[in-house]
Structure 1
Amino acid sequence: MSAKQRLLAALVLPLLAACGSASGPAAPTVAPGSTVTVDLDGRPFQLHVPRAYDPTTRLPLVVLLHGYESSAALHEEYFKLAGESERRGFLYAMPDGTTDRSGKRFWNATAACCDFYGTGVDDSAYLSRLLDTIAASYSVDSRRVYLIGHSNGGFMAYRMACEHAKQITAIASLAGMATDDPGQCRPERPVSILHIHGTADQTIKYGGGTNVGDPYPSVDTTVSGWRRRDGCDDRPETSAAPLDLDSDRPGPETAVTVYAAGCRDGTRVAVWSIEDGGHMPRLTASFTPAVLDFLLAQVSPA
């Protein structure tokens, strides 16, 4: 940052923090290039502010949602988004789910995943307040807010797109599914979707299945539901070259299908199918940059 930018940060950041938010406490300010712990409803989350942060310029916000029995820290090691936050200049939030009776962290996303002990914790409201809290203290571009989730976190990203579409531009789900009940998903506006799934996933199966007795849909059903919600034409684009996303598969192994024609508000719905990939593929170095290329290209209407 230049001396002028540092002066502006010193003057503007405290003012932004003082404004707060009607839906929750404002996040504390933090020096650019560092990570702060923010307490919200007794549930702290980590927020990384890139060195390029300037309070006079609105930045995209990316939120990482971990899988069942994992944590934000472990999934940051998996996705390696912090480095991309610095390279690309976006704010990056890393929240944790609550812990169930078996000591495993989870998100209450759908009946199939993963509030197995029936706590009823309202993670949808919590994550909505998290987005408001960050926007109350930092210069967030509300047209560019993105969620990335794996497994249970992917289920949760889909729930957020259903229930808080006005706060979210696009989501990326790796090995997660939407709700099995289409009536529970009535988004207020179109949301771009990137669905990534291994065709040999035995935990959350590509063709759908059940989890502790509750059904979850297939990839095709999940994607077609969002294609219809976004108003996309049912004719896909399949001309894109395959991607190399899984180090354990001879690459490029991932087929790309995109629905873009007719989608409202410039949204897109894409499927990346990892041939013979499992539930937690060993990601190549190109995985996270490719996901971010898709997400950051999506911009909500003003």
Structure 2
Amino acid sequence: MRASSPLRATVAVAVAFMMMLACDSAADSEPPADAPPAMPASGTGTVTIDGREVTVHVPESYDPGRPAPLVVGLHGYTSYGSEMESYMRLTPESERRGFVYAYPDGLTDNRGNRFWDATDACCDFYGAGPDDSRRLSELITTLQGAYRIDPARVYLIGHSNGGFMSFRMACDHADQVTAIVSLNGATWNDPAKCRPSEPVSVLAIHSSADETIAFDGGRNGRNAYPSAPATVAQWLGHNGCAESGRAAASLDLVVDLPAAETSVRSYEQGCADGSTVRTWTINGGRHVPQLGPAFAPAVTDFMLSQVKPAR
């Protein structure tokens, strides 16, 4: 039997309404174009932030009700985030010590090598001019929005170009950074280019036989970078530390050198706001030392021992 005209009209309206609801539901299920990336709730996940991949590890112990430390790892020139992690092996420390851990990728240059635009000596060799200082600052802010991060415990660790970039972040964003660890990197050669707004603790690790970033300073292309002692001296000045440090027990961090190959010196006297500057000198070490199992726990101990004073 055919439906009457009024009934057909009613059915048509109902169908149209249901279709509209279905379309609205589908639209609601799609995140808006400017929505923040879906961060992993636990474990390891890779997301795209500002056009670049960032891998984030959230430890099983993470509790949104309790502020957690944040560690950001920065790779060297020609490397990338996951390779840096396989070298430094900080993910087990994230699980053991309960910090959120992120390792982003830098931009790719004209030769296909990833890099950070840290200082004039390292490592934007082709003039791309990315504002990596801003990007990494915004990454920290994004992670603080996604997780409950303790602003008094935010740390950066980097190797080579990543070490340079860690120093750059301490120069530019001292209000966001508690402490940095640089392995075979350096700060600006011109001290006037680094004006931190407040103290940042520094662990400067240098290999005495580094064939790429020389312990005694040098040039990377046309621009100079400071020696290991000059880098440390700059940060003693920034933090207001006395120049006379004290020696501590040597460490065994590198597997292909004799035991306790790394000399340690600590500068704490006079340092403002409880900050510190520490040096580890890998005697006989090269640019990419063969890190042993003690390295990751030792650098984690340093980072987590530094806490910004309450504001």
TM-score by length of 1: 0.90
Q: What residue is the counterpart of 2:10 in the other structure? A: none
Q: Is the contact made by 1:27 and 1:137 (CA closer than 8 Å) also made in structure 2?
A: no
Q: Cα deviations across residues 76-117 of structure 1 (Å, max 9, x unaligned)?
A: 100001111001100000101010010100000011100000
Cα deviation digits, residues 210-235 of structure 1 (max 9, x gap): 01121000011100100011011111
Question: C-alpha separation between the residues in 2 aligned to 1:185 and 1:135?
Answer: 25
Two-structure CA RMSD over aligned residues (Å): 1.1
For residue 36 of structure 1, report the CA deviation from its aligned partner.
Answer: 2.3
Q: CA deviation at 1:170?
A: 0.2
Contact 1:256 1:273 in 2 (8 A): yes
Q: Matched residue of 1:87: which SS?
A: helix
Structure 1 residue 25: deviation in Å? 6.0
d(CA) in 2 for partners of 1:285 and 1:75?
Answer: 15
Task: Map 1:133-148; keep pairs closer than 5 Å.
Answer: 133-148=142-157
State the one-letter code of the partner of 2:113: K
Equivalent of 2:251 in 227, 243, 254: 243
SS at match of 1:44: strand
- Secondary structure of 1:165's partner? coil
Match of 1:30 in 2: 40
Match of 2:280 in 1: 272
Taking the TM superposition and a 5 Å limit, the aligned residue runs for 1:174-253 are 174-238=183-247, 240-253=248-261
| Bigger CA radius of gyration | 2
Structure 1 gap segments, 5+ residues each? 1-23
The letter of the residue matching 2:281 is S
> Is 1:294 aligned with 2:302?
yes
Contact 1:204 1:279 in 2 (8 A): yes
* Distance in 1 (alpha carbons) for counterparts of 2:97 and 2:269: 28
Check whether the contact 2:39–2:47 (CA below 8 A) recurs between aligned residues. no
Identify unmatched segments of 5+ residues in structure 2: 1-33
Specify which of 77, 87, 90 is matched with residue 81 of structure 1.
Answer: 90
Quick check: 2:186–2:228 contact (8 Å CA) kept in 1? Answer: yes
- Encode CA deviations 1:15-38: one digit per residue, 9 max, x unaligned: xxxxxxxxx964424232x12223
Residue 11 of structure 2 is matched in structure 1 by none
How many equivalent pairs are there? 277
Counterpart-to-counterpart distance in 1, 2:110 and 2:240: 42
Percent identity of equivalent pairs: 53
Please list the CA deviations of residues 128-174 of structure 1 after superposition, one character each: whole Å capped at 9, or x if unmatched. 00000000110000000000000000000000000000000000000
**Residue matched to 2:291:** 283
Question: Helix, strand or coil: the match of 1:242?
Answer: strand
1:116 aligns with 2:125: yes
**C-alpha deviation, 1:192, in angstroms:** 0.1
